[in-house]
Amino acid sequence: MIMTIKFILFLVLGMPFICKAGYTETYPSIKALAQSEQWLALIHSKPKKNENDLQSYVDDNNFFLAADGATNPESELLASLEALKTKKQTQCKFPARTKFLTSHIEHLEKSIPNIECTEYKAWLKQLNTSYVVLVFAAAQLNSPSSMYGHTFLRFDPSNVEKNSTYLSYALNFGATVTEGDTGFLYAVKGLTGGYPGNFAANPYFEKIKEYNRLENRNLWEYKLNLSQAEIDTMLAHMWELQGINFDYFFFDENCSFRLLELLDVARPGLKLVNYFPFTTIPLDTVRVVEDAGLVTDVFYRESILSILENQLDELSPSERSFVLALSSNEALLTSNQFKAFNPYKQQFIVDTAYRYLRYKNKFNGRQEDTTRRSFIFLKHINKYAVKLKHEKTAIPIRPDKGHKTKMWGFGLGEKDEQPYFQIQYRVSYHDLLDPSGGYYSGMSLNMANTIVRVYRDDKIKLEKAELLDIISLTPRNNFFTPWSWKANVSVEQQWTAGKNTLVTQGSGGRGINYQPLENSHLFFLATARLELNKKLDSFMSLAPGLHIGFLYDWNQASLLLEAEHYQFLFDQTTRSRFSIKQSWQLAANDSLRFLAEYNRVSNRQSNQYNYHEIKLEYRHYF
Quick: pLDDT tens for 516-555. 999 999 999 999 999 999 988 889 999 999 999 999 999 8
**Span 63-83, mean pLDDT?**
96
CB distance 542 to 562 below 8 Å: no
* The pLDDT value given to residue 605: 66
Query: Rounded distance, CA 263 to CA 276, Å?
Result: 14
* The pLDDT value given to residue 176: 80
* The pLDDT value given to residue 5: 40
Q: Give which of 83, 55, 82 is closest to 69, Cα–Cα.
A: 55
| pLDDT per residue as tens digits for the range 252-296 | 888 999 999 999 999 999 999 999 988 899 999 999 999 999 999
Q: How confident is the model at residue 164 (pLDDT cuts 50, 70, 90)?
A: confident
CB distance 218 to 300 below 8 Å: yes
| pLDDT per residue as tens digits for the range 376-430 | 999 999 988 788 887 777 899 999 999 999 999 999 999 999 999 999 999 999 9
Q: With 70 as the cut, is the pLDDT of residue 299 above it?
A: yes
Q: How confident is the model at residue 362 (pLDDT cuts 50, 70, 90)?
A: confident
**Span 15-30, mean pLDDT?**
47
Q: With 90 as the cut, is the pLDDT of residue 160 above it?
A: no
Query: Rounded distance, CA 352 to CA 324, Å?
Result: 9
Residue 37, exposed/middle/buried by CB under 10 A (0-12, 13-18, 19+)?
Answer: middle
- Of residues 140 and 454, more confidently modeled: 454
* The pLDDT value given to residue 190: 74
* The pLDDT value given to residue 457: 83
What's the predicted TM-score (pTM) here? 0.89
CB distance 613 to 418 below 8 Å: no
Query: Helix (H, G, I), strand (E, B), or coil: what is residue 343?
Result: helix
* The pLDDT value given to residue 6: 37
**Span 49-73, mean pLDDT?**
87
- Which of 45-54, 360-369, 428-437, 610-619 is least confident? 45-54
CB distance 24 to 104 below 8 Å: yes
| pLDDT per residue as tens digits for the range 470-480 | 999 999 999 99
Residues 6+ apart with CB under 8 A from 117: 91, 92, 95
Average pLDDT of the chain is 89
**Span 52-66, mean pLDDT?**
90
